[in-house]
Amino acid sequence: MLLRARFVVPVDGPVIEDGAVDIHEGAIRAVGPARDLRVGEAVDFGDGVIVPGFVNAHTHLELTHLAGRVPPHGHLTDWLLRLVTALLAEPPTREQIESAVTTGTAASIRAGVTCLGDITRNPAWTRPVLARSSLSGVSFGEVAAVGNRRHLLDARLAAAIDADDANERLHIGVSPHSLYTVEPAALRACAERAEQLRLPVCVHLAEAAEEERFARTGTGPFAEYLQRIGVWDDAIACHGLRPLEALRGAGLLGPRTILAHANYLDDTEIESLAASRTSVAFCPRTHHAFCHAPHPFRRMLRAGVNVGIGTDSLASNPSLSVLDELRFLRQAHPDVLPDTLLAMGTLYGARALGLDRQCGSLTTGKRADLVVIPLPGPSSPWYGILDSDHAPMTVYLGGFRAAADV
């Protein structure tokens, strides 16, 4: 099968005008000018742009059912309290979680997302749904072990790393949730198990400035949050370090680790991330919704940190579209080069998840995950991708066109 369009943007190479992508047995066989790729009849998308499938480096699909119920405002801990209160008031059933993930995967595919890093508190319920979908990615089983819930560590860690539903597309990872929900001993246990099994890791880090106070002293808004949700006890052990130092001490910095959000890191910490090859999943619209200080993603990129894009969940974001995130960044930061933005939403996200050999760019041998975006008028491909409001017109996963009703 040959797909042709006015522009092909491979991400790892220059833009190709009147380009084409040759697909064979679900993989990319060749990419180049259409005149050089004559393999039978072409599916011609005319004034369109073919780009790699988008990669959502950080999301929570099982919270899809909370869309619009806990809009983000106020301090992060106030929102977390409202979120947890909503979940405790009406604990979702397995059927509701499965439905939420099914809805979330369909919305992701419609938005052009073909690979994602999903955080799940209920891996036994969410992973079968992901395994049946056409998406690729990593399912990070979430671990929380703090206060009077620390005794649940072994059970939660065992559930988090259960690989029964893993397949060639769905990989398993572990997510020690954060420094305010995972005590030092539990953090080290997660790190040790991840190292033993060579698992990818995702940690929510520096999501709010006050997280440093909790990490150092065990006090402040995050301590109050734990008290209000009823898990605090006087035996809680604080980390006694700045957040990034605590992760380093636990052995969790490295090329298999993603830091979700990373909103508050200084230049020295950014250099440490670059040196350790730790990735960041930046969630632009969620960051904006909580009125955080400007995110240091540009300083991170200049320092050599791999920064992918995440949507977080529909509990804090209006959509699961990485393309929407990129267009938001384009408006907010017009100084960032368009090819850098697209790489953040594709190749860098795949690299963060450890899947850049399989997806993230239109490269020979990679999975044929790609998206066609309409290009109105005689303009550059970047107008269609970043400056228009047009949704993807077609999505391919593993060489198969996604159903129109997905």
Cβ neighbors of 137 (< 8 A, separation 6 or more) are 55, 56, 115, 116, 117, 118, 130, 169, 170, 171, 353, 355
CA distance 379 to 374: 11
Q: Yes or no: say if 2 and 41 are a contact pair by the CB < 8 Å rule.
A: yes
What six digits make up the tokens of 307?
A: 């920064």
- The confidence score (pLDDT) of residue 210 equals 95
Q: Yes or no: say if 187 and 225 are a contact pair by the CB < 8 Å rule.
A: no
CATH code that applies to domain 2-52+361-401? 2.30.40.10
Tell me the CATH number of domain 54-352, given options 3.20.20.140, 3.10.330.10, 3.90.79.10, 3.30.70.920: 3.20.20.140
What is the residue extent of each domain of the chain? 2-52+361-401, 54-352
C-alpha distance across the termini of the chain, in Å:
22
At 70 the three-state DSSP class reads: coil
- The confidence score (pLDDT) of residue 89 equals 82
What six digits make up the tokens of 228?
A: 């209000």
- The confidence score (pLDDT) of residue 379 equals 78
387: exposed, middle or buried (C-beta count within 10 Å: 0-12, 13-18, 19+)? Answer: middle
- The confidence score (pLDDT) of residue 250 equals 96
Judged by phi (left if over 0) then psi (alpha if -120 to 50, else beta), residue 251 lies in left
pLDDT digits (tens, 9 = 90+) for 100-111: 999 999 999 999
CA distance 80 to 61: 17
What six digits make up the tokens of 104?
A: 């979330």
Neighbouring C-beta atoms of residue 397, cutoff 10 Å: 25
CA distance 241 to 218: 10
Provide DSSP, 131-142. Answer: HHSS-EEEEEEE
Q: Yes or no: say if 178 and 205 are a contact pair by the CB < 8 Å rule.
A: yes
Cβ neighbors of 199 (< 8 A, separation 6 or more) are 161, 172, 173, 174, 193, 256
Could you tell me which residues are beta bridge partners of residue 178?
204
Look at 32-36, 302-306, 349-353 and tell me which has the smallest mean pLDDT. 32-36
pLDDT digits (tens, 9 = 90+) for 147-178: 999 999 999 999 999 999 999 999 999 999 99
Name the strand (E) or helix (H) holding 248: helix 243-250
- Give 178's DSSP letter: B
pLDDT digits (tens, 9 = 90+) for 180-221: 999 999 999 999 999 999 999 999 999 999 999 999 999 999
- pTM value > 0.95: yes
**Same fold for the pair 2-52+361-401 and 54-352:** no
- The confidence score (pLDDT) of residue 186 equals 97
What six digits make up the tokens of 82?
A: 């409202």
